[in-house]
Amino acid sequence: MYQRKIPIDYECGLSVAMEVVGSKWKFCLLDEISKGIKRPRDLVNAINGITKRVLQKQLSELELHGLLSKTIYPEVPLRVEYFLTPSGESLLPLISAVDQWGMGFASQLKVILEGKDSEI
């Protein structure tokens, strides 16, 4: 995600993984695309809080890293559809696992953060 000085430790799986999917929205993007939302514009609408610029950047990174690919339909207006490569698909079980873990953890986090808020 912003690791360029300690180039990337190819021996460390976590380092590699963080490099590729360590940005805020990448799991979400892969998830949404796997669900069939393929066009940039639809993704902006589907994902709460992402902006066009960031979406564009992260899509291109995912594409560069070989997790995503796209098809360009030379229509007017232009249409582009992203889809998961095999590498991207290999990540889906992990995303699902992370999502489920997060669901299970949500209640705990809620209590913790709201407790903190009330201390103000």
Residue 62 contact partner, candidates DNA, a second copy, none, CB within 5 to 8 A by sort of partner:
none
Please report whether residue 39 would count as binding a second copy according to CB under 8 A. no
Please report whether residue 110 would count as binding DNA according to CB under 7 A. no
- What is the C-alpha to C-alpha distance for residues 111 and 115, in angstroms, rounded to an integer? 6
Q: What is the 3-state secondary structure (H, E, C) of the chain?
A: CCCCCCCCCCCCHHHHHHHHHCCCCHHHHHHHHHCCCCCHHHHHHHCCCCCHHHHHHHHHHHHHCCCEEEEEECCCCCEEEEEECHHHHCCHHHHHHHHHHHHHHHHHHHHHHHHHHHCC
Q: Which stretch binds a second copy (CB under 8 A): 16-24, 38-46, 53-61, 75-83?
A: 16-24
Tell me whether residue 107 or residue 118 sits nearer to a second copy (CB atom).
107
- CB of 93 vs DNA, minimal distance in Å: 25
- What is the C-alpha to C-alpha distance for residues 10 and 32, in angstroms, rounded to an integer? 28
- How many amino acids of this chain bind DNA (CB under 7 A)? 24
Please report whether residue 54 would count as binding DNA according to CB under 7 A. yes
Q: Which stretch binds DNA (CB under 7 A): 28-36, 53-61, 90-98, 107-115?
A: 53-61
Q: Which chain residues interact with DNA by CB under 7 A?
A: 1-2, 23-24, 39-42, 49-54, 56-57, 59-60, 70, 72, 77-80
